Structure 1
Amino acid sequence: MDELLRVDDLRVAFPGRGWRARPTEVLLGVSLAVDRGEVLGLVGESGSGKTTIGRALLGLVKTSGGTVRFEGEDITHAGARRRRELGRDIQVVFQDPYSSLNPARTIGDILSEPLVVQGATPRDARARVRGLLEKVGLPRDAEDRLPREFSGGQRQRVAIARALAPRPKLIVCDEPVSALDLSTQALVLKLLIDIQQETGVAFLFISHDLAVVRHISHRVCVIYQGELVETGPAATVTSDPRHPYSKRLLFAAPLADPVAQRHRREERRRLAEQEPLETGTGPTTPRRAP
């Protein structure tokens, strides 16, 4: 397939706390690729570094090593102007859409402003916004309402519409359904799948939930303590993983059948006793930079 995004040996270190404290490395040389029209799932527990990867791709955190290439261009250290230009092609959907929506502006204003900045006329921008709101299943009067007038699931649909507005090639989805109830999660996931199939946009889908990642992804990367420990087709990684950590994620997923759930807990306990977790190239705790 045609490669859209490539990350090679990506490293990120955060400053240590206290005077003369050494930085803490949270990404220890991550390499991955996303093809055009592909959904790549990135799964790991809280603190594993998965969100840091997404923020590094967006230029929101400073990298300490490695490269990020988009359509062959090295954007690792792209300046503010180039980052604004890349906003046409790379968008993001955050976990909490309300924090990224101006509470004092209507949805129509929020969604149309970036289109106008990119050169669209106000009339064309409004027409595009109405089409997007209809695509994500919001009522016709949504563009004239404020963010606080929507439920959590509806606000996430607004965030998806905003990400789609400039017709991007890649959308980074950072835990887009984790704050929603199960029924709303299913609706938003179906919306994302339908949009991906209709538009061909690529997703980097970040989540802690292996079941959610399995539902939407073509391929899956499992990250543990800042390193990728397993990568492969979604059906394989989410049903028959090879790495002990991937197996623990699988066994941690709840089941509706109480008997099967009990067996799964027992298997997870047995695995923890027999197979200590180790990353592929380093220790199991964040490193202190030299």
Structure 2
Amino acid sequence: MSTEPDRLLAVEGLVVDYPAKGRGRPPFRALKGVSLSIGAGETLGLVGESGSGKTTLGRAILGLAPVTGGTVTYQDRVISGIGKKERRALGDDIQVVFQDPYSSLNPALTVHDILAEPLLVAGVCRTDAHRRVRDLLEQVRLPADAGERLPREFSGGQRQRVAIARALTRSPRVIVCDEPVSALDLSNRSRVLDLFVEIQERTGVAYLFITHDLSVVRHISHRVAVMYHGEIVETGPAEVVTRTPVHPYTQRLLLAAPVPDPARQARRRAARHRLAAGGPGRNP
């Protein structure tokens, strides 16, 4: 699908350098001129192996990684390099769901207080904040008494639902989802993915969905961008990229996904080894 008419978030020529350990050594270039865009109500799946730079890209969009060059633009406004006060104000529009829901939730606060805190900081009265919390718990399919419980009292899947509810608190237009289902078992993973889709259909929120799993992005994404060594090597409709990829690196990612047939799995493993042994996208 084309997003140009309603492009909401754009990354253009983004470069991120990290200082190298050791004196006199050049910085490590994590992103090498990355460009992509996300339309309103769209899910862009960003896929790649560990170390490919996908999480760094998400952090750069959120203002958590240093931008050496290029720009991040939200609604035609450059937001890379803005100050802390302006960045906090963007919390109404751009939110995040992290991989580990437990570490991102304050263990000393009840779920109600976790969800109400950003509303109260924004000046919402306690009555309205309480009403909003009840609505959020309903949206993410948690029981009514969940607000009075602590994060440790929930399962991993339920904690991720709390994290999603917190991201939705201020009705954002974009959510950066950084491996939000990788720590969940298969049954919880499927339910949480369905919840993301349901929320998007109801609210029109856009997702940058970061993962290493092509089957996950196939389930949830409209378009897919594939990262390798800090660069986008392939992009296109999710159905195309996740089933008939062109780039050898994407083909390797597809072949790495397990299948239940042992003979077919052995053939896929052999094909992956052949791709890794030569051609563009092989491991250094």
TM-score range, shorter chain: over 0.9
Provide TM-score, normalisation by structure 2: 0.96
How far off is 1:139 after superposition? 1.1
* 1:108 counterpart residue number: 112
Matches within 5 A, 1:38-77: 38-77=42-81
1:240 to 2:244 alignment:
yes
Cα deviation code 1:11-58 (max 9, x no counterpart): 001110012222110100000000000000000000000000000000
The yes-or-no answer on 1:210 pairing with 2:209 is no
Alignment of 1:239-258 (within 5 A): 239-258=243-262
- Could you list the per-position Cα deviations for residues 111-144 of structure 1 after superposition, in whole angstroms to 9, with x for gaps in the alignment? 0110111121111011111111111111111101
Partner of 1:128: 132
**Amino acid corresponding to residue 182 of structure 2 in structure 1:** S
Alpha-carbon distance in structure 1 between the residues aligned to 2:60 and 2:116: 26
Separation of aligned partners in 1, 2:272 and 2:222: 26
2:26 corresponds to 1:22: yes
User: Which residue in the other structure is 1:143 paired with?
Assistant: 147
Could you say which residue in structure 2 is the equivalent of 1:175? 179
Aligned-residue RMSD, C-alpha: 1.1
Aligned length: 280
Taking the aligned partners of 1:131 and 1:259, their CA distance within structure 2 comes to 49
Aligned twin of 2:99: 95
**Could you tell me how far 1:276 is from its partner in structure 2?**
4.1
CA–CA distance in structure 2, aligned partners of residues 4 and 144 of structure 1: 36
Give the secondary structure class of the aligned counterpart of 2:218.
Answer: helix
For 1:263 and 1:141, the matched residues in 2 are separated by 50
Q: Does 1:267 align with 2:232?
A: no
TM-superposed CA distance for 1:223, in Å, is 0.2
Amino acid at match of 1:183: S
Alpha-carbon distance, 1:273 to partner: 3.0
Q: Which runs of 5+ in 2 are unaligned?
A: none
Q: Using structure 1 for the length normalisation, give the TM-score.
A: 0.94
C-alpha displacement of 1:263: 1.8
Shift of 1:275: 2.2
Moved more, 18-27 or 243-252: 18-27
Structure 2 equivalent of residue 4 of structure 1 = 8
Q: Secondary structure at the match of 1:87?
A: helix
SS of the aligned residue for 1:61 comes to: coil
- Following TM superposition, by how much is the alpha carbon of 1:274 offset from its aligned partner in structure 2, in angstroms? 4.2
- Specify the SS of the correspondent of 1:228: strand
Amino acid at match of 2:247: H
Q: 1:161 aligns with which of 147, 160, 165?
A: 165
Aligned sequence identity (%): 62
SS of 2:92's equivalent in the other structure is coil
**3-state secondary structure, aligned to 1:97:** coil
User: Partners in 1 of 2:128 and 2:52 — Cα distance?
Assistant: 42
How far off its partner does 1:259 sit?
A: 2.2
Q: Counterpart of 2:85?
A: 81
Structure 1 unaligned blocks of 5 or more:
279-283, 286-290
Match of 2:281 in 1: 277
Which residue identity lines up with residue 210 of structure 1 in the other structure? Answer: L
CA distance in 2 between partners of 1:33 and 1:270 (Å): 33
